[in-house]
Amino acid sequence: MTSDAAIFGDTSNLKASQAKALARLRDRQVPADQVVSAALARDLLDLSQELGRQLGLFIDRRGRVESVILGDAHSMELPEFARVRGAGGRLRGVRLIATHLVIDPLSREEIADLVKLRLDLIAAIHRGPAGIQIDIATLAPPAPPSRDVLTVRTWPRTPLSLLTREGPEAEGEGLPAAAPQPFTDFVRDLETELVAATSRARAEGAGTRAMILMVHRGGPDVAARRGELRELCRTLGIEVVDVIEQRRPHPDPRTFLGSGKLREVLVQALEHDVELLICDPDLSPSQARTISEQTDLKVIDRTTLILDIFAQHAKSSDGKLQVELAQLRYRMPFMVGHGTMMSRLAGGIGGRGPGETKLELDRRKAKNRVHDLEQRLGHLRRQRDQRRSRRQRSGVPVVAIVGYTNAGKSTLLNTVTGAEVIAENKLFATLDPTVRRIRFPQDREVVLLDTVGFIRDLPPALLQAFSATLEEVADADLLLIVADVSDPDREQHMETVEKILGDLGAGELPRMMVLNKCDLLSPEDLALERDRAGRDTFFVSALDRRSTRPLLEAIEHHLWERGRVERPAYALLPEGEGEGEAEGEAEGEGEANEGAA
């Protein structure tokens, strides 16, 4: 592809004289205070037109040509830089001068290269009726009060003679306002401003800055998915700078958004100092690799986001093992080699060689770790089965609290039992399943089981890793399905809950509907909800213990009808008595919190 270490591009079809002309460009020098000299621009355009291909020069701040790039008739592929400069607001220390065979402005791809490589400047030169003209773009700090780090400034098209002060047409004419000339002073001042803007943005930043990339077909659930992604990010402390959406039947199999749109995203991401791209729907390994290579940013998808939340919230050894297993199962397909040549080399004739590659070693370690985790979780599963069997033999009924994430399940458990399970206004705040006894009057007891919240499109790796824990739900005597009555997407949430319960084999269990957060509704809206509600629907505010009394009465009455507990004491008490008589009591060591070690 190259004929010289400093010449990039396909030189295989060049004549010897053309190859020498390219090589001689490496010896050219530009005055340090000029963007490009008139003589170099003329020679560069002449050679470009002779070849019928675009040419580019990387020129350092001393005016020396570092590299020559040979493209095709419409574009150039730029070489990568070592990461010496270009961080913390600093610029790369080189500028790119590129030829255009037709008179057109800087392309979207060229602007993306300017931002991604943090070039000092990018300029396109072309020859027209008025002589050689130049289009220039530079990075620039945004105007306050913007929190962005940089923006792109394009300069008016200018005759090259005005910048180089050569030719009769330059006499008596001044430079365009604030032109990047003298170049040495301009780029020094620009870099100082960019460093200051970067430092200010990082000091003001609330956390990792991210952009969400969504591909969808449209429809009523798009807004809900968008809001849910924002909530997932908020739970992890990620600051969402923007949401980029593209309406298409399927994501691009290679670049997710399409190469043109991805370049636009790159420019916007670097302008906003974005460190992370979050994609929905989930990425394939090839998509993740391509986006990462083209943007130089960290790329994750929705499933990875959920897995990170689970890893952050897992407190028990059981929960941590389940999360680690789910992460390994999901990430292993992303550890991709290059076909059968990446497989382990066997010993013996024809099998001798350098041994396993680093990638193969990582895959082998991951497989061994998965096997070890499955064995340890199997042991813990047997312990849970034994505890469940003891509860069944004791005749204590089990009521499972299930529902969409952040519906208020843990708050409800805390209120009716006096427990202190972590309950926050975040998605998946509760991860480890918790069991608490609730004691009714006359020593009647019921076990309440709090489970991990559900979410639409629950990652299969998570569902598989947590299947042993969620089996508790299928053995319950009664389900309390908790929903946020104030959530506009409640119906979709209920469909998700019903689907997951069906997958767990709990779809036919008796259930009661608990509409939580009714205190957030106006009296008129609450009255409408009550009119639409079914017979076994209860309106509560999980923060108000008094609002849960009808629910507790109904639980006791339902279980009494099935012969699991004695006749409800509430029916025998005078009006006004019985409130607050349900109190939490831990089941005993190893049962108070099933997720404990």
Enumerate the CATH 3.40.50.11060 domain ranges in the chain, comma separated.
206-309
Amino acid at 160: L
Angstrom distance (rounded) from CA 433 to CA 446 = 16
Angstrom distance (rounded) from CA 571 to CA 168 = 106
- The answer to whether the beta carbons of residues 540 and 515 sit under 8 Å apart is yes
Q: pLDDT tens track of the chain, all 597 residues?
A: 444 558 899 998 999 999 999 999 999 999 988 999 999 999 999 999 999 999 999 999 999 999 999 999 988 988 876 554 556 678 999 999 999 999 999 988 898 889 888 899 999 999 988 899 999 999 988 777 666 667 889 988 888 887 776 444 444 445 454 467 789 999 999 999 888 887 776 666 557 889 999 999 998 889 999 999 999 999 888 999 999 999 999 999 999 998 889 988 988 887 777 889 999 999 999 999 999 888 888 999 999 999 898 888 888 788 888 889 888 988 888 876 443 333 333 344 343 445 456 777 888 898 999 999 989 988 888 887 887 788 777 778 889 999 999 999 989 999 998 877 766 777 776 666 778 888 876 667 888 988 888 888 877 777 776 776 677 788 888 999 999 999 999 999 999 999 999 988 888 999 999 999 999 999 999 999 999 888 889 999 999 999 999 999 999 888 876 665 544 443 333 333 333 333 333 333 334 333 322
Q: Cβ-count burial of 67 within 10 angstroms (0-12 exposed, 13-18 middle, 19+ buried)?
A: buried
Contacts of 157 (CB under 8 A, 6+ apart): 105, 133, 134, 135
What residues are paired with 436 via a beta bridge?
A: 448
| Record: fold of 206-309 | Rossmann fold (3.40.50)
| Radius of gyration (C-alpha) of the chain in whole angstroms | 33
Strands 239-247 and 209-216: parallel
What's domain 393-585's superfamily in CATH?
A: P-loop containing nucleotide triphosphate hydrolases (3.40.50.300)
Task: Look at the block and give the residue holding tokens 């990582």.
Answer: 362
Q: Cβ-count burial of 526 within 10 angstroms (0-12 exposed, 13-18 middle, 19+ buried)?
A: middle
Enumerate the CATH 3.40.50.300 domain ranges in the chain, comma separated.
393-585
Where are the strands (E) in 268-350, listed by range? 276-280, 298-301
